[in-house]
Structure 1
């Protein structure tokens, strides 16, 4: 026989095939499902989502129209129908040739002064122009007109400088008098020039010594003792620099005995 009539022999044909269930197990359903649905329908508010049952419908003429809330320009007035105010006033008629003019009229108006004021008002003020930007400015307040050097007090010392110099002179006199009184009482003495130079040289030597010690410190400051030693050297050197500047700035130095 041919293979078309009888299928070929296979070992799978002699195996017992297990029944496969394609369906899923039934889903869990609560026994209170019907109770919950019934309570939900009973407690549902009718106006929760759809609004109140009865709504007052506005009248057709109160509907919100398109562009009704946009700002509107005032209505244009037609001035063609309104006559100007000056049109109602008529000028006096032209005098006739036979009429004689009024004689003997007098006025207190100074025509010369009035004409001079009119000329001053019409006279253009001097200006200067910026050559780069082309701006125009008044020449009077520009600083190009030498009007300050024509003043009476030009080149003189201002009064506030005289007052400041006088106050400085009085303060110096009071200080000198105080120093004289203290020296007379023996509570203050003046350093000589040799003593000042000696103290100044000693301060400089101390600063050089500390500076050499500061330069010899290690590059890495990794302990608290090294850090404290470095800060102490910096503080001492700073104080020595202030003392050196003080002795170099003042030639006369007084020392109190108290």
Structure 2
């Protein structure tokens, strides 16, 4: 037990060693310390010191009165309607006397009949009932009226779609011209349908082989090699799926000649 705790004896331990003195670097002192202290003393206010703040003593004449802190209501003003200028004249008082001596030759019965005969009938606005009690709403504001069919450009293709079609057609034309130029120079060749079909079948066969290997893996992945093999098979199968989808999506494929 003593051999484990104490180090083994050695002749080198008998040689006296010089004590190494650690030389510390001088303490850092900012050259702005005196300036900061002076500025702190100048900006220091009396309320920031210890002790009670020196405030003015309240006057004895300004003492707190009863109900002085309760909210005060605004002064009462006479109420007046906004449409008082358009309202009918008030009902005459009982003591008012009617104007006497005014005569008129107007036949009110005949004039009222003529006005009603010549009056234009009021057009009823279309409405709809939205509750079982018969509450009515204006039909024009409900969104059920097909106002769009009355527009000038109804049934026409919007301008932005026409512009987009032109841009797509122009881009496709430029791409076709570029492909023709590259094929004329011999830098690209088009993949034929039998070659494309052959490549597609080969990719699918490779995927079937990898899938057969993947199905043959152990149910319990408890070792590192099994884990790496499973991940490798999954990555290869995903890459083959992306390649197959790419070839099936595009019928025309160009290959660069290097």
- TM surpasses 0.5: yes
For 1:74, the equivalent position in structure 2 comes to 74
1-side partners of 2:232 and 2:188: how far apart?
33
2-side partners of 1:135 and 1:179: how far apart?
68
Q: CA 1:135–1:160 in 2, change beyond 3 Å: closer, same or farther?
A: farther
2-side partners of 1:56 and 1:183: how far apart?
101
Q: CA 1:187–1:77 in 2, change beyond 3 Å: closer, same or farther?
A: closer
Q: CA 1:226–1:71 in 2, change beyond 3 Å: closer, same or farther?
A: farther
Matches within 5 A, 1:106-255: 125-131=125-131, 136-255=136-255
* Deviations, residues 112-143 of structure 1 (Å, cap 9, x unaligned): xxxx9xx99x9775433323697654322333
* Deviations, residues 1-36 of structure 1 (Å, cap 9, x unaligned): xxxxxxxxxxxxxxxxxxxxxxxxxxxxxxxxxxxx
1-side partners of 2:247 and 2:237: how far apart?
15
Deviation at 1:216, TM superposition (A): 1.4
Any unmatched runs of 5+ in structure 1?
1-54, 88-92, 99-115
Q: CA RMSD of the aligned region, Å?
A: 3.8
Q: CA 1:187–1:177 in 2, change beyond 3 Å: closer, same or farther?
A: same
Q: CA 1:154–1:226 in 2, change beyond 3 Å: closer, same or farther?
A: same
Deviation at 1:63, TM superposition (A): 3.8
2-side partners of 1:166 and 1:56: how far apart?
85
Deviation at 1:201, TM superposition (A): 0.4
Q: CA 1:71–1:240 in 2, change beyond 3 Å: closer, same or farther?
A: same
Partner secondary structure for residue 156 of structure 1: coil
Give TM-score scaled by structure 2 length: 0.56
Structure with larger Rg: 1
2-side partners of 1:215 and 1:125: how far apart?
73
Give TM-score scaled by structure 1 length: 0.56
Any unmatched runs of 5+ in structure 2?
1-56, 91-97, 104-118
2-side partners of 1:182 and 1:200: how far apart?
25
Equivalent pairs, count: 177
Deviation at 1:219, TM superposition (A): 1.7
Deviation at 1:95, TM superposition (A): 7.9
Partner secondary structure for residue 148 of structure 1: helix
Deviation at 1:56, TM superposition (A): 8.1
